[in-house]
Amino acid sequence: MVEQFLRTLMRTTDVAVTGLFSPAAITAVGLADLYARLPLRIGLGLGSGVIALSSQDTGSGESGNRDEAISQAVILGALAGVPFAVFGVLFGQWAISILGAESEVVRMGGIYLAIIFVTSPARHVAIVASRSIQGAGDTRTPMYVNVVSNGLNIVGTVVLGLGLGPVPQLQIVGVGIATAVANVLSALALVFALWTSWAPAGFARPRQWTITKQLLQISAPRILEGMSTFVMEFPFNAILLVFGTEVNAAYQIGRRVYQQITAPLSRGYRTGTSIVVGQNLGDGNVDGARYDGWAAALLGLVTVGSLGGLLFLGAEPLVAFFTDDPETRRVAAEFARAYAVAAPFTVLYAVLSGALTSGSDTRTPFVGRVSGMFFGMLGVSYAFGIVLGYGIPALYASIVVYYVWATAYVARGFYRGGWIERTQTMMAERGSSPGKD
């Protein structure tokens, strides 16, 4: 959670600093981040696959299989980042322009996108290496690395973006450079941890195609989930832009406030749940895996649900930190309240998805999230906001409907328990016997 808090704070700092320039700068970063989420989703997808295999084989005592899975995931992550680096340099501004943004937004967003895309291979490696170490039961090493890298990112954003001291004011270029440097530093440090005895896991020469196949089987639905939500965020942002640049900026601010307050806990619970459920399955403790999944869901519901209540009450002063434009601030507060209402469902989705992932089931979260976003977020916002003329309030409602549906779907999948048999079958295929220790 500490790691996720600082990562989220880094992104919050980006929005806060760009907010000092103009609403157009906020929109530029927000639209560029739409594209940046695609390589991020691929990295998270590979991270889901490796944390499942790493936690299961740690529980079963098969460290050789675990280290081989880690090595393969790191290599795949680095290779998968190369096309994004090329795309960002060659087509950054075009990518922003096709969203219908203003010329100044296109210029700033294209520059920012090119800078952060160049380090996509490093970002992938950092995510995969972090999940690998976490799956082995060590969540402190990734935290130490990311505390340093994200701290430097925050400082770099402020200094380079605002031009403090002798440093020239680079504005949005400085924000992008700070993020790029942090991505490279965290990747190098985590690879070093795996290469040495710093982490409980390590590298091994890839030999088994079975591990490669299973890694991709688990990762693929998670990657498709990310790509699908990535694609659907474009029409949603287009709907936002129908109501004006200020409304789009308000959405970015409201979403950022919500993420800063609740996302670190939700993501931390997800990672922790993936570890304990996966290790229980590796040890052959099926009842323990079920119990830990439901217990983590309850813990998340109580804590993140409470934070959602605080966010609902304090939305206006929180969004005022990002903008002084009265209309943008008013709409941003309503978006923050919508996310506050959805907070109990977002954490349940995150925790139960993490449990299913460690149980080698990433298909259920994929279907739940994609269908929820298509029929809930896009369907409600378009049908009620534009066609039926309810306007901006329909956008708020669409966020809640999306997460309610997605949560209900993954809860049903976890309760039915098909993920248990799937894990046992896959462990047998790669020669990892439950409870070997």
Q: What are residue 207's phi and psi, to 5 degrees?
A: -135, -30
> 89-148, pLDDT tens digit by residue?
999 889 888 877 788 888 888 999 999 999 999 999 999 999 999 999 999 999 999 899
**Confidence class for position 435, pLDDT limits 50, 70, 90:** low
Average pLDDT of the chain, as a whole number: 90
DSSP H/E element including 96? helix 63-97
> 336-368, pLDDT tens digit by residue?
999 999 999 999 999 999 999 999 899 999 999
Residue 275 is predicted with a pLDDT of 92
For the segment 163-186, the average pLDDT, to the nearest whole number, is 89
How does 144-167 read in b/e, with b if 16+ C-beta sit within 10 Å?
ebbeebbebbbebbbbbbbeeeee
Residue 229 is predicted with a pLDDT of 83
**What is the distance between the alpha carbons of residues 45 and 22, in angstroms, rounded to a whole number?**
34
**What is the distance between the alpha carbons of residues 128 and 106, in angstroms, rounded to a whole number?**
31
Q: Is the pLDDT of residue 417 over 70?
A: yes
Whether the Cβ atoms of residue 344 and residue 305 lie closer than 8 Å to each other = yes
For the segment 61-84, the average pLDDT, to the nearest whole number, is 93
User: What three-state secondary structure class fits 11?
Assistant: helix
- pTM value is 0.82
For the segment 174-193, the average pLDDT, to the nearest whole number, is 93
For the segment 276-281, the average pLDDT, to the nearest whole number, is 94
Q: How far is CA 119 from the centre of its chain?
A: 17
